[in-house]
Structure 1
Amino acid sequence: MNKHYKIGLFGFGTVGQGFYENLKKHPHLPASIEKVCVKRVDLPRIGHELYFTDNPDELIHDPALDIIIELIDDAAAAKKYVHTALQNGKSVISANKKMIGESLEEVDQWHNEFDATFLYEAAVGGGIPIVHAVDGFFRDQEVLKIRGILNGSSNYILTQMQQYQWSFEQALSDAQAQGFAERNPTLDISGIDATYKLSILAYHAFGEVPSLNSFSAESIESVTKEEIKKARAKGRKIKPVATIERLGNEIVCSVRPELVDPNDALYSVDSENNAISVDTVISGKHTSVGKGAGSLPTGSAVLEDLKRLLSGYSYEVSKTKTAVA
């Protein structure tokens, strides 16, 4: 008899609901959400017949649950839940880039120490399946460089500033009104959010655990109207570009506003869209463009991880790498 997998879900916000809606469209999958852990069980949730609890132990220590899916914004709590679940033999899927990016040495240990699988596609590219590609197909070809737009909020703000000659403050306010930027947008506009994603990609591309202290991040807040005017006069755009590459024995990572020409693959990637370009030794450069955030795009990435998990997939990096702190 084929096994039916029972899921414990942490978080029922934007991404959690997006995953739930995507899962409902795939009734053929042998998996279902049995319990959902949220901060407040008293909030009305119309149209959902799920079981809600505010006690994380009901999920982590429930022997009937096979898979934990972690979609909360508290990195410290997420790390505790993920680690404990893996210790208890439950496979885990996460979208928490901050938790993973800041804890890569421990994540590397989890991959090697536990039999349970840990996947996190949604933590990097949203709807762009970049972790799966870099961990397998591209890494086997030897990755030279990864360059892209990894933060939709920053890209949206710079797009509005350039299209409508808005001030940074106007563009940020609009991004928040549209739901593309958080009420506290510091991680997005500072470039720190993108560094978490870069660190995860570096780990999978090069098989090493990079130090976030070596990353360079420059805020888009430094971009002036005068710089935008000069860029426009030359037919260029300013984009929030994130880059990782290996130079000798060193992995160099940076996030900064960058001038791009019309022949650049990132030039036409506007608004909240993301793009990731992978340059390899064998097959050259590959660029993927898509929604880097949002309920359904990110929820779809979580669903794809679930499908891979059910098929027995796990990351290759844990099988072949040598960690470098």
Structure 2
Amino acid sequence: MKNHKKIGLFGFGTVGQGFTEALKKHPHLPVDIEKICVKRLDLPRINHELYFTDNPSEILDDSDIDIVIELIDDANAAKQFVESALINKKHVISANKKMIGESLDQVALWHTEHSTSFLYEAAVGGGIPIVHSVDGFLKNQEITKIRGILNGSSNYILTQMQQNKWTYEKALNDAQKKGFAESNPVLDVSGMDASNKLSILAYHAFGEVTSMKSCELKSIEEVTETDIKKAKHQGKKIKPIATIEKINGGIHCSVKPEKVGPQDYLFSVDFENNAISIDTLTSGQHIAIGKGAGALPTGSAVLEDLKRVLSGHRYAVKEAKKVLA
């Protein structure tokens, strides 16, 4: 690869714009955004100096582009773009948790079949470098359990409902306006988004591709005003908690609203913040807290992956042990 790298970017929504803003703050990096592929060219663009196209081939088939960054919301299209880029020997960075979480068997093959890097920190913890931690230092600690708040949108909605007595609809609408929740919030509020993130973490933590079909999911839409009042009366809060752990050789997974008290570290994690605890046999519990949604936190995670690509970093995961039904 050349000393100065060229980037092909797919998507220029909340995360795409957050990434470009974060990149501007690091002018020393030997990279340039060469082209940006979007669905519609007729939309007004603030960054008029950037080159926009609606033809994916302009990026995928361009031999001058070294790194492809995929930041779109279409999981099927994202999978095609990522695979094509890897086949064309380009390094790839993605934030598409749905595509990665539901295609981990394929992702495992990509890691073994291609010599270029495929990184996706932004797909899991937003501004928390949790994949890098699980795939690195913590991997040798024998991880037994992962628990936390993995969806900033759901946490923001529940926080507003409890602190300010907002209705679910008002809190959701505000989360969408702030860029925390998608226009179609089903994946966020149902728990599916967090379950995809759990599957990615389980892959790196346990070396196994885990089916999320048996994961217990409960939507935050089911949280009622009565539930909130009862929790408050008990001195507790309701949080959207995702858990995955190894029990008797199997893996148990759940994503659901749960009541937590002040003694729980998740009690004070409010609004769009995420928090993740990793339990290990060797060094005990490790906790990370940070912004889990929004343009700059997620865009910054993409930027950190870019720095890792430039340094030649690849994930330690080689081949998944097995597929758990």
TM-score, normalisation: structure 2: 0.96
For residues 29 and 113 of structure 1, the distance between their equivalents in structure 2, rounded to whole angstroms, comes to 28
Alpha-carbon distance change, 179 to 88 in structure 1, aligned in 2, over 3 angstroms = closer
Matches within 5 A, 1:222-301: 222-301=222-301
Query: Corresponding residue for 1:153?
Result: 153
For residues 191 and 248 of structure 2, the distance between their equivalents in structure 1, rounded to whole angstroms, comes to 25
Structure 1: state its 5+ residue gaps.
Answer: none
Query: Corresponding residue for 1:323?
Result: 322
Query: Corresponding residue for 2:64?
Result: 64
Query: Corresponding residue for 2:97?
Result: 97
Query: Corresponding residue for 2:7?
Result: 7
The one-letter amino acid paired with 1:174 is D
Query: Corresponding residue for 1:207?
Result: 207
The reply on whether 1:19 has 2:7 as its aligned counterpart is: no
For residues 149 and 304 of structure 1, the distance between their equivalents in structure 2, rounded to whole angstroms, comes to 22
Contact 2:65/2:90 (8 A) holds in 1: yes
The reply on whether 1:54 has 2:48 as its aligned counterpart is: no
For residues 322 and 115 of structure 2, the distance between their equivalents in structure 1, rounded to whole angstroms, comes to 19
In the TM superposition, what whole-angstrom CA distance separates every residue of 1:241-295 from its partner, at most 9, and x where no partner exists?
A: 0001111221111101111110101000011111111111122111111111111
The one-letter amino acid paired with 1:71 is L
Query: Corresponding residue for 1:37?
Result: 37
Q: SS where residue 28 of structure 2 aligns? A: coil
The reply on whether 1:144 has 2:144 as its aligned counterpart is: yes
Contact 2:89/2:114 (8 A) holds in 1: yes
Once the 2 structures are TM-superposed, how far is the Cα of residue 55 of structure 1 from its aligned partner? Answer: 0.5
Amino-acid identity (%): 69
Alpha-carbon distance change, 164 to 27 in structure 1, aligned in 2, over 3 angstroms = closer
Query: Corresponding residue for 2:81?
Result: 81
Once the 2 structures are TM-superposed, how far is the Cα of residue 2 of structure 1 from its aligned partner? Answer: 6.8
For residues 300 and 166 of structure 1, the distance between their equivalents in structure 2, rounded to whole angstroms, comes to 30
Of 209-218 and 39-48, more deviation after overlay is shown by: 39-48
**Number of residue equivalences:** 324
Q: SS where residue 213 of structure 1 aligns? A: coil
Query: Corresponding residue for 1:186?
Result: 186
Structure 2: state its 5+ residue gaps.
Answer: none
Contact 2:93/2:119 (8 A) holds in 1: yes
Query: Corresponding residue for 1:196?
Result: 196
Q: SS where residue 128 of structure 1 aligns? A: coil
For residues 246 and 185 of structure 2, the distance between their equivalents in structure 1, rounded to whole angstroms, comes to 30
Query: Corresponding residue for 2:124?
Result: 124
Query: Corresponding residue for 1:166?
Result: 166
In the TM superposition, what whole-angstrom CA distance separates every residue of 1:7-65 from its partner, at most 9, and x where no partner exists?
A: 11111111111111111111111111111111122322234311111110010011111
In the TM superposition, what whole-angstrom CA distance separates every residue of 1:171-224 from its partner, at most 9, and x where no partner exists?
A: 323333433322221111111111110100010000000002121111111112
Q: SS where residue 76 of structure 1 aligns? A: helix
Query: Corresponding residue for 2:115?
Result: 115
For residues 47 and 102 of structure 1, the distance between their equivalents in structure 2, rounded to whole angstroms, comes to 33
For residues 183 and 24 of structure 1, the distance between their equivalents in structure 2, rounded to whole angstroms, comes to 27
Once the 2 structures are TM-superposed, how far is the Cα of residue 165 of structure 1 from its aligned partner? Answer: 2.7
The one-letter amino acid paired with 1:324 is V
In the TM superposition, what whole-angstrom CA distance separates every residue of 1:143-181 from its partner, at most 9, and x where no partner exists?
A: 111100011111111111111233323332333343332
For residues 178 and 19 of structure 2, the distance between their equivalents in structure 1, rounded to whole angstroms, comes to 21
TM-score, normalisation: structure 1: 0.96
Alpha-carbon distance change, 61 to 220 in structure 1, aligned in 2, over 3 angstroms = same
The reply on whether 1:309 has 2:313 as its aligned counterpart is: no
Q: SS where residue 209 of structure 2 aligns? A: coil
Q: SS where residue 317 of structure 1 aligns? A: coil
In the TM superposition, what whole-angstrom CA distance separates every residue of 1:52-106 from its partner, at most 9, and x where no partner exists?
A: 1111001001111111000111111000000011011111000000100110000
Runs of 4+ in structure 1 off by over 4 angstroms are: none
